[in-house]
Structure 1
Amino acid sequence: MDLLAESVQTIKGIGPKKAKLLAQLGIYTLGDALYLFPRDYEKYGSVTSIASMQRNQKVSLCVKFQGKPQIIRKGKNKSILRWQAKDNTGTVVCVWFNQPYRANQYKEDISYYVYGKAVMGYGQIQIQNPQVEEYRPEIHNKERWDPIYPLVEGLTQSDLRNLIKETLKILEDNIIDDLPIIVRQKFALCEKKYAINNIHFPMHDKALEWSRRRLVFEELFFMQMALYAIKENLGASKKGLRFSWSNKELENFIKKLPFPLTGAQKRVTKEILDDLKKDVPMNRLVYGDVGSGKTVVAVIALYVAFLAGYQGVMMAPTEILARQHYKTLKELLDGLKINISLLIGGIGNKEKEQIKAKISKGEIDIVIATHAVLQEDVEFNKLGLVITDEQHRFGVRQRATILQKGKINPHMLVMSATPIPRTLALIFYGDLDISLIDELPPGRKPVKTYHVPSSMRQRVYGFIRKQAELGYQTYLVCPLIEESEKIPVQSAVELYDSLKDGALFDLRLGLIHGKMKGEEKDEIMSEFQEGEIDVLISTTVIEVGVNVANANLMVIENAERFGLAQLHQLRGRVGRSDSQAYCVLIADVKNRIARERMNIMVKTNNGFEIAHKDLELRGPGEFLGVKQHGLPEFKIANLIRDMDILKEVQAAAQWIMKLDDTMEKQRILDKAYTKIFSNLGEIVFN
């Protein structure tokens, strides 16, 4: 019998009403309760004397109440209750606000444990709104930590604490230690039973520290090993395609590129080419800051696939970006007799079927596509290379799905412009090898960024006009497509209508947003790229990858409504030539987080600095889009706070992968995969 799966209603005092409230916290079973970890702790010191109290400090006392309490009424529902208490060193006044019922709760001849903050009031030290319990020396004569759990209306901390205490009693012999004993011993980790008990009710501060380290380590370790399991299944354990090609043709192609490769691009290109020469499938992430030149590295890889006689596919998260990649590849591969096709949702069904037929016959060499390529009826003749662009839009599951499009395991290259620390990249892309482009093309000037309030909007429009007179173009980005009654922010349609007949009436304006048909968006972007539009009013549909060198001004309306990563991506649309580019953030900031976002954007263009700040402000779960990655959310680990443990985990995972005992290694990989992905849906391997 699996007690972990038993309903919480098996615990005395938990009826249907309370069970419904617990369900709001995700607690349905005893196992759920066991893994509802405290978000904080109330630390109680051991009992001290009244004489040793210091003001503005939390104190723990053993006292008896004296005489009758004094209640002062202030209006209908307001009151102050004052009650003198004493120990053998002196007296102190306990004060409660709006809690008159306490006058009937305590007796003069009983010793009570009183905990609260000592403050000055009416010329004497008082303890305001103290917690009071009947004194028990075996509990109160030592330090203790009471867990503080997340709550919903209708539940109290006492409810949760009692639930967890009862759960721990029932499950005492059912807490299985999943972590391999060789890992526990090598990294000096406590047993799981000890950790679970002490994460909820710590015996002392060291017990809490050891328990938290153990549980964080386990959570991160199994995540890392599960990703390694995918890597093993999709990579080294499978037969891949060994590419061979003419180095002379490749060298000639690279020489004819319109710009020289940076040192970082050369290094990463070599890492990719080395992978393509092996008979195991490449599974590599290439990431770097906005504008670091990832696309040209992808083009080189696609050209090598063509030279080796294989088809290549490049995925993009949006139709606009897919169309831009198509245009870029057509230009860079012009004259090389390579058949390139665009496969996106916006093209007609007849044309789509014709493209699919050509793909299956091997008549198309390179396919640029959106998610449509993941459909079951797209069959490749000789798929050798898969590239997914803007990785954070594609999860673990989608990576596995696309890899099944090849009859033999194709090579996979993942491109991301999310500049996260390498340590975090290893946990979120643990199924991939990692390459970092950490250098920007020479000659580019940093984008100058300004934060202005909405009251300066007309001056911003004047600056847009000045840039147009100098021959430059502007992006004007809004958070919404259409006006909303609920949200008082600028919408793209509303702004376009007001500007074309108002402040920018004599400039050529364009409007683009996600609800437009593909052909409409394509036409507008083409006009903007050809310089036929001075100001492109847009939603975040232009957030990633769009490249118009003559656009050197980015204006973002209601910038406080965007996250830092999004603001940085939007700013990355300008500054793609050697002329000075500008970004103007129009925002009326009303809170600390919004202000800090604006400040960091003005201060730096460095994507890694911005990503670090974004991680601080939003937390790793939201920043990295854990669910988008197809990974479960962490219950206890925090990837910012637990960076040191994460490094230990990665050392442990690498050590396991090098074990001579292949059966033990495989057992750990299988356990990790089942543990992490069993509740998220199957990832099917070839």
Structure 2
Amino acid sequence: MVSSIEKLLKFAKLEIDRGYDNRSVFGGLNYIAPLWDQEAKSQKIDSALVENITAILAAYDSYNLEQRKVAIAEIISTLSEGAQAGPAAAESAPASRPTSATGVEQPTQRATRPPEPTGSQPRPAPAETPSQPAKMVELSAPLTVLSGIGSKKYAQLKKLGLETIGDLLYFFPRRYDDYSKLKPINRLEYGEKVTVIGTVMSESTRTSRGGKTITELIVSDTTSFLRVNFFNNPYAAARYKTGDQLVLSGKIDTYLGRLVMNHPDIELIDQQHLHTNRIVPVYPLVEGITQKDIRSHVSRVVERYAPLVADPLPSFIRKEAGIPDLRRALQQVHYPDNEDLLKQARRRFAFEEIFYIQLGVLSQKRSWKAASAASYSITDDYLAQQIQRLPFPLTGAQRRVLDEIRADLASGSPMNRLLQGDVGSGKTIIAALAVLVIAQNNAQSAIMAPTSILADQHYRNLTRLLTQPIAEDEQPPLRPEEIRLLVGDTPESERQEIRAGLSSGEIKLLIGTHALIEDGVEFNQLQLAVIDEQHRFGVNQRARLRAKGQNPHLLVMTATPIPRSMALTVYGDLDLSIMDEMPQGRQPVNTHVLSPRERERAYSLIQSQITSGHQAFIICPLVEQPDDDQPDPDLEKKAAVQEYERLQTSVFPHLKLGLLHGRMKPDEKDAVMRKFQQKVFDILVSTSVVEVGVDIPNATVILIEGANRFGLAQLHQFRGRVGRGGDAAYCILVPEKEDAVENERLMVMTQTNDGFVLAEKDLEQRGPGQFLGTRQSGFSELKMASLSDVHLIEKARGLAHQLFERDPELQNPENLELSRRLQAFWKSGKGDQS
């Protein structure tokens, strides 16, 4: 019978003759990988050798020509040595060290592993191997190439997102239990997590009154005795016998005054200690997969493949960042020798994620800067004349931002700027002045808002600012017919007028919703695109608006203050302008936290304000959805309707109330908001969908029920709905219950009206999710990095700049693996630059 080794050697040599076309065997070498794996194991070929060769075969189809040459050379070299040793020898001794096609000795695939350390002394770092991807084991090989993982186990692991060797290698623990500190039994204390070494003195099984089977071991280490209990675990009684020497790790409890350890992790003392006597990784699980399963699989993959993975980070980057190389980090992040090495490993992967983000956003920024755009400018005298027409003087922040935008428009490169300013800070004025610069140069601008009511508000404000003369003989910047509004319900006859005016260049400013990016809306010369409340738009929508012109200048605006760390990452491809100063006369909103039993005080305040001629918002709390796969989308609607009916019938029967919730159609929402603007309603009862930026100058009170369910940034947005008319305004926060910790968080709202302070605190407390919107949503899936670690982010950004200075296109040989990893990182959804 021809051995599996001889057969595969024949295929490998035929592959060389055929020029590495992967047709030496029907279906390709990748096709026969599982068949060869099964046959080789049945002939008792060394399992480590088989797994290594199978991994190369399984990925062979994905290799390029140079990688295939190296792979075939490695297969021939490894199999030739295996054939000389023979199956029996291969089974009884470690596999010899194969050499690659270049003659570089590879790490042993099956070596006797040294005993695990019992203290904090680190084991030696694995020797670095040349970082040439062609010589590295292909991490895309399926997990089925590993012994012990068949189709059933593979299906279970797949539920954890684990399909390949690489997935398992980068499947990081969710936490760690430190069992590295051995203690004698007579010094154990209640509540501590420890590791104990002892001998089983006796074992017994009994049934409790409730029918529960209890297996009890009595373990001794000569200093004292410890009872070890297993409930409804018949395997424990069969597995552990008197005289066994065990390593037990777990939490010390008490029963009837005696120390006990319930359901500990146990290993025989001569086993490799993956689960005890060390810092133990704890991984996410699914049904059918235990911690011991996953730890064993990870351990094998880390030991065998971690030394073969190319480190994508250049050595100078690792040195400057103070982080370990990839092989060391992979080893320590899964099975750390001590806490310090674990921290170093975790920092390595956190840095790597942030570094990829910085390389991506800076690359995008460099592309923008390298492009050319039309240059636009106006004289200082003309600008000063136009500023005089404004109803109030510009703040220092507005003047600073205006200077930044004027420089962008005159630079000859497309502006790509994010303008963030607190509610009421005057962003619309800045957008109007930018439009003015473009219009004076006979080009066109577009402003896109998320809702028709907000677009209509911009239309009215900008028309008033840009078309009203301040003296009889003055020529205003634009004529009324040069500014048009395009929304979903714009009549078709008017749409035709707008299309014609855009095409001819007569219309200088088009304001609207998503209707702006519809087919048929064609500009003559779009040179400025302004996107308001940018987080409400997807990447494709922003791109479609830009595509209406030739490299137009882009200004995106948000009223959500963005923490510095996120401005450097999520929005790192944009130039950032901050408006952190409020216009004169804008009063801070008086904010108070009331307990649920004090709610009547809030109702009294609302009543008194309405009696004085004002209006009020009442925000319904978020509804907690059922914890299943099919949450009820109508729950919030039901809750809002019920609260509306209660308030209308029981609390404010003599007032007119309006209702707004997320299940309404867009035109229904607009109709409700317009009625509120027109003072048809005294109170608007709304869920969290109440629009940011909508101006209701007459509203002076907002009551937010269930305030504990909202983040500080969102509460601040709600608060910005009132106090826009110059009158004293009030924000009342009512949590669901009198929780001291939660109410302390809410009290921050009473201490500051600074949205940037609140945004930083929100990031600390609740994470980055609510700041991301529809932008780079994948950032919320980072495995190690924290978007609140400003120090690490600034370090990564600085080093990314240095790398681009050395190798702008990442084409140097030492950066090729980094380039490949970077492309994979961004392709996997960690960002969607715009």
What is aligned with 2:825? Answer: 676
Could you give the per-residue CA deviations for residues 538-573 of structure 1, whole angstroms, max 9, x where no partner exists? 343433111222211112344445443322211111
After the TM superposition, which residues 443-482 of structure 1 pair with which residues of structure 2 at under 5 Å, given as runs? 443-452=585-594, 459-478=601-620
The answer to whether the 8 Å contact 1:50/1:61 transfers is yes
From 333, 336, 342, the equivalent of 1:208 is 342
Counterpart code for 1:406? G
From 218, 224, 246, the equivalent of 1:112 is 246
The answer to whether the 8 Å contact 2:203/2:216 transfers is no
Identity among equivalent pairs (%): 38
Could you give the per-residue CA deviations for residues 281-340 of structure 1, whole angstroms, max 9, x where no partner exists? 111111132222222222221222212222111122222222221222122223223421
SS at match of 1:428: coil
The answer to whether the 8 Å contact 1:359/1:380 transfers is yes
Counterpart code for 2:188? M
What is aligned with 1:42? Answer: 177
Shift of 1:187: 2.4
- For the pair 1:611 / 2:740, whether they are aligned, the reply is no
CA 363–469 in structure 1, closer or farther in 2 if over 3 Å, else same? same
CA 138–112 in structure 1, closer or farther in 2 if over 3 Å, else same? same
The answer to whether the 8 Å contact 2:484/2:511 transfers is yes
Q: Which has the larger radius of gyration?
A: 2
Structure-2-length-normalised TM-score: 0.74
What is aligned with 2:56? Answer: none
CA 480–104 in structure 1, closer or farther in 2 if over 3 Å, else same? closer
Counterpart code for 2:717? Q
- For the pair 1:164 / 2:298, whether they are aligned, the reply is yes
The answer to whether the 8 Å contact 1:421/1:608 transfers is yes
The answer to whether the 8 Å contact 1:553/1:581 transfers is yes
Mapped to 2, the partners of 1:47 and 1:498 lie a distance apart of: 62
Counterpart code for 2:606? I
- For the pair 1:238 / 2:381, whether they are aligned, the reply is no
Could you give the per-residue CA deviations for residues 121-169 of structure 1, whole angstroms, max 9, x where no partner exists? 4444443443221013874999622211112233221222223233335
What is aligned with 1:648? Answer: 795
Mapped to 1, the partners of 2:253 and 2:187 lie a distance apart of: 14
The answer to whether the 8 Å contact 1:397/1:683 transfers is no
Counterpart code for 2:238? N
After the TM superposition, which residues 624-635 of structure 1 pair with which residues of structure 2 at under 5 Å, given as runs? 624-625=771-772, 628-629=775-776, 631-635=778-782
- For the pair 1:549 / 2:697, whether they are aligned, the reply is yes
From 424, 436, 447, the equivalent of 1:314 is 447
SS at match of 1:430: coil
- For the pair 1:534 / 2:676, whether they are aligned, the reply is no
Counterpart code for 2:149? I
From 146, 151, 159, the equivalent of 1:16 is 151
What is aligned with 1:256? Answer: 389
The answer to whether the 8 Å contact 2:618/2:703 transfers is yes
What is aligned with 2:546? Answer: 403
Shift of 1:594: 5.9
After the TM superposition, which residues 63-212 of structure 1 pair with which residues of structure 2 at under 5 Å, given as runs? 63-69=198-204, 71=206, 73-77=208-212, 80-97=214-231, 99=233, 101-136=235-270, 139=273, 144-169=278-303, 171-172=305-306, 174-212=308-346
547-556 vs 4-13, greater mean Cα deviation:
4-13
Mapped to 1, the partners of 2:241 and 2:808 lie a distance apart of: 68
457-466 vs 567-576, greater mean Cα deviation:
457-466
Mapped to 1, the partners of 2:706 and 2:512 lie a distance apart of: 32
Shift of 1:509: 3.5
Counterpart code for 2:727? S
What is aligned with 1:301? Answer: 434
CA 673–32 in structure 1, closer or farther in 2 if over 3 Å, else same? closer
The answer to whether the 8 Å contact 1:554/1:583 transfers is yes
Mapped to 2, the partners of 1:356 and 1:393 lie a distance apart of: 25
Structure-1-length-normalised TM-score: 0.89
Shift of 1:412: 1.1
Mapped to 2, the partners of 1:649 and 1:89 lie a distance apart of: 52
590-599 vs 296-305, greater mean Cα deviation:
590-599
Compare relative contact order (CA 8 Å, sep 6+) and give the higher one, 1 or 2.
1
213-222 vs 91-100, greater mean Cα deviation:
91-100
Alpha-carbon RMSD across the aligned residues, in angstroms, is: 3.4
Shift of 1:634: 3.8
The answer to whether the 8 Å contact 1:477/1:537 transfers is yes
From 356, 371, 378, the equivalent of 2:514 is 371
SS at match of 1:540: coil
220-229 vs 81-90, greater mean Cα deviation:
81-90
SS at match of 1:427: coil
Mapped to 2, the partners of 1:661 and 1:103 lie a distance apart of: 63
The answer to whether the 8 Å contact 1:477/1:556 transfers is yes
CA 584–303 in structure 1, closer or farther in 2 if over 3 Å, else same? same
From 409, 416, 430, the equivalent of 1:283 is 416
Shift of 1:239: 0.6
After the TM superposition, which residues 509-524 of structure 1 pair with which residues of structure 2 at under 5 Å, given as runs? 509-513=657-661, 521-522=669-670, 524=672
Shift of 1:222: 1.0
Counterpart code for 2:376? F
The answer to whether the 8 Å contact 1:490/1:557 transfers is no
SS at match of 2:298: helix
Shift of 1:69: 3.5
Q: Which runs of 5+ in 2 are unaligned?
A: 1-59, 63-137, 469-475, 626-631
Mapped to 2, the partners of 1:425 and 1:384 lie a distance apart of: 25
SS at match of 2:369: coil
- Report how many aligned residue pairs link the two structures: 679
Shift of 1:8: 2.5
Could you give the per-residue CA deviations for residues 99-139 of structure 1, whole angstroms, max 9, x where no partner exists? 46533332222211122233454444443443221013874
From 490, 496, 503, the equivalent of 1:360 is 503
What is aligned with 2:784? Answer: 637
SS at match of 1:69: strand
CA 113–194 in structure 1, closer or farther in 2 if over 3 Å, else same? same
The answer to whether the 8 Å contact 1:552/1:580 transfers is yes
Counterpart code for 2:732? V
Mapped to 1, the partners of 2:552 and 2:243 lie a distance apart of: 81
SS at match of 1:567: helix
The answer to whether the 8 Å contact 1:396/1:630 transfers is no
What is aligned with 1:32? Answer: 167
Mapped to 2, the partners of 1:260 and 1:283 lie a distance apart of: 27
Mapped to 1, the partners of 2:604 and 2:278 lie a distance apart of: 64
What is aligned with 1:582? Answer: 730
What is aligned with 1:390? Answer: 533
Could you give the per-residue CA deviations for residues 66-90 of structure 1, whole angstroms, max 9, x where no partner exists? 134374623122x555432222333
Shift of 1:501: 5.5
The answer to whether the 8 Å contact 2:416/2:575 transfers is yes
The answer to whether the 8 Å contact 1:268/1:435 transfers is yes
- For the pair 1:439 / 2:584, whether they are aligned, the reply is no
From 469, 488, 512, the equivalent of 1:345 is 488
Shift of 1:493: 4.4
Q: Which runs of 5+ in 1 are unaligned?
A: none
Mapped to 1, the partners of 2:777 and 2:231 lie a distance apart of: 49
The answer to whether the 8 Å contact 1:288/1:438 transfers is yes
Mapped to 1, the partners of 2:497 and 2:263 lie a distance apart of: 76
